[in-house]
């Protein structure tokens, strides 16, 4: 196991209650709450009750989409989770990336904002962690997974999910305030890789600006050779994403996001299998995110664009391989499973070649795998991609 101080992962983390949706429970709730199909096209702006939560979930199932939302009612989360058989895991991009790195034999250090007995039980023993929290806190996130082909029919609602996906619903004061520990700067002074994630959960503009100011101060201690990776997410207050970019973009080496975030920024659907449409979307994206390297990871492929694209092609491939392995094997994935995934057939190379030719600038596109899985894992795929990507960067810095 390598030195944990080399890789610092932040900034938050959480306990997750993972559930798998079933048609039976959803149909019962549709009937009992009197939910109508027209409501699914305009979900509630604020999730303040279990009924609102069900309407929100059904809208995503209908289009096979993924997302993340703040929930005003914490009891609604626990009530809904209790209707299934929730599995307790650890979540947050930094934590799941750290769990993956641990499986690959790379130790890391986690900056946390909340700790409890579940954390102490489930965190890997080979790494290190520190926390800004002064006492144990417990704010579980609801992670909703659904399969492709999930069919729900009740009242005037009849929907079938076209894709498998996952949803995240949150009421978490610790990640909402994102207090940074005073040790962060001194620990960054020893880091070779730094992951920034988690600001998407904040909902107070003034507090967000203050946290970003403090983070920049801590980052002054990073060695010049360190690689800083920023992973985007669905912001509970969408306008805040621009504040975060404005504060940090000049300190970010690699900016990562998925197709949901891409389409949200552009305000339109992007055909992920049309090279011309993707090239136009990425060109437009660069007006918002002119980072040295922008990593876009999707269900079909992943790519890196920008002046430094050539430096990170192998890291993109490592991310695709590890995410695909999790899709097939879930939390049980092993190093042997990762190696087996590498031998699976890939999607045809024609798309990757065409996109690299279409894009006006450096681009490296890596095709995904052909995966036919009865019960795939859709939770934590993006986080695992990040962990795989960072494993290649950490390996290069040894």
Residue-wise pLDDT for 100-149, tens only, equals: 999 999 999 999 999 999 999 999 888 999 999 999 999 999 999 999 99
Same domain? 41 vs 110 = no
Same domain? 165 vs 127 = no
For residue 288, give Cα distances in angstroms to 28, 77, 222, 307, 355. Answer: 43, 34, 25, 16, 20
Q: Output the pLDDT for position 373.
A: 87
pLDDT tens digits for 282-338? 999 999 999 999 999 999 999 999 999 999 999 999 999 999 999 999 999 999 999
Alpha carbons 202 and 70: distance in angstroms, whole number: 9
DSSP 46: S
Same domain? 157 vs 36 = yes
Same domain? 12 vs 23 = no
Sheet holding 193-196, edge to edge: 128-131, 109-112, 7-9, 193-196, 227-231, 254-258, 293-297, 301-305, 363-367
Range of the domain at 201: 4-16+90-138+173-396
Same domain? 56 vs 190 = no
Same domain? 44 vs 192 = no
Same domain? 125 vs 201 = yes
Q: Output the pLDDT for position 396.
A: 64
Confidence category of residue 198, pLDDT binned at 50, 70, 90: very high
Same domain? 57 vs 187 = no
Nearest CA to 147 out of 243, 22, 238 is that of 22
Contacts 24+ apart (CB under 8 A), 20-24: 20/84, 20/145, 20/146, 20/147, 21/57, 21/61, 21/84, 21/144, 21/145, 21/146, 21/147, 21/150, 22/84, 23/150, 23/151, 23/152, 23/153
pLDDT at 169 over 80: yes
pLDDT tens digits for 215-257? 999 999 999 999 999 999 999 999 999 999 999 999 999 999 9
Q: Output the pLDDT for position 125.
A: 85
How many Cβ atoms are within 10 Å of 112's Cβ, its own excluded? 24
Reading phi first (left if > 0) and then psi (alpha if -120 to 50, else beta), residue 221 is in alpha
How many residues belong to the chain? 398
Listed in sequence order, the DSSP H helices in the chain are 23-33, 50-63, 74-81, 93-103, 117-122, 173-177, 184-188, 205-219, 240-248, 259-266, 275-288, 313-329, 335-342, 350-358, 381-396
pLDDT tens digits for 332-358? 999 999 999 999 999 999 999 999 998
Give the CATH number, domain containing residue 155. Answer: 3.30.1110.20
Alpha carbons 348 and 371: distance in angstroms, whole number: 13
Same domain? 105 vs 180 = yes
Q: Output the pLDDT for position 374.
A: 84
How would DSSP label each residue in 320-381?
HHHHHHHHHHGGG--HHHHHHHHTSPBPPTHHHHHHHHHSSS-EEEEE-B----SS---TTH
Same domain? 11 vs 28 = no
Same domain? 108 vs 132 = yes
pLDDT at 155 over 70: yes
Backbone dihedral angles phi then psi of residue 57, each to the nearest 5 degrees: -60, -45
Q: How far is CA 305 from the centre of its chain?
A: 19
Percentage of residues in the chain having pLDDT higher than 70: 98
């Amino acid at each position: 196991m390598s030195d944990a101080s080399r890789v610092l992962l932040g900034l938050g983390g959480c306990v997750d209650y993972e559930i798998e949706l079933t048609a039976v429970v959803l149909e019962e709730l549709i009937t009992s709450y009197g939910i109508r199909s027209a409501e699914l096209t305009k979900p509630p702006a604020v999730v303040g009750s279990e009924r609102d939560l069900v309407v929100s979930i059904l809208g995503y199932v209908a289009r096979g989409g993924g997302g993340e939302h703040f929930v005003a009612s914490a009891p609604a989360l626990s009530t809904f989770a209790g209707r299934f058989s929730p599995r307790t895991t650890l979540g947050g991009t930094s934590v799941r990336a750290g769990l993956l790195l641990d499986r690959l034999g790379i130790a890391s250090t986690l900056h946390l904002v909340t700790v409890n007995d579940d954390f102490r039980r489930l965190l890997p023993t080979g790494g290190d962690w520190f926390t800004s929290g002064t006492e144990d806190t417990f704010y579980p996130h609801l992670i909703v997974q659904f399969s492709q082909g999930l069919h729900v029919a009740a009242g005037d609602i009849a929907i079938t999910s076209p894709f498998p996906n996952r949803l995240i619903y949150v009421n978490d004061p610790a990640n909402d305030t994102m207090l940074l520990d005073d040790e962060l700067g001194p620990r960054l002074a020893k880091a070779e890789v730094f992951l920034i994630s988690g600001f998407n959960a904040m909902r107070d503009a003034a507090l967000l600006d203050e946290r970003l100011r403090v983070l920049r101060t801590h980052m002054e201690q990073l060695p010049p050779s360190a690689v800083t990776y920023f992973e985007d997410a669905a912001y509970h207050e969408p306008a805040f994403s621009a504040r975060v970019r404005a504060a940090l973009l000049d300190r970010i080496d690699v900016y990562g996001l998925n197709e949901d975030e891409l389409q949200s920024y552009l305000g339109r659907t992007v055909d992920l299998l049309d090279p011309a449409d993707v090239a136009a979307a990425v060109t437009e994206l660069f007006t918002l995110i002119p980072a040295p390297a922008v990593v876009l990871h999707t269900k079909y492929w992943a790519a890196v664009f920008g002046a430094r694209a050539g430096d990170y092609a192998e890291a993109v491939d490592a991310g695709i391989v590890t995410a695909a392995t999790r899709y097939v094997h879930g939390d049980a994935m092993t190093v042997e499973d990762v190696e087996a995934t590498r031998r699976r057939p890939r999607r045809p190379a024609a798309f990757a070649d065409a996109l690299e030719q279409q894009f006006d600038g450096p681009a490296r596109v890596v095709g995904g795998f052909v995966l036919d899985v009865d019960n795939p894992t859709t939770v934590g795929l993006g986080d695992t991609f990040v962990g795989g990507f960072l494993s290649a960067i950490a390996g290069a810095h040894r």
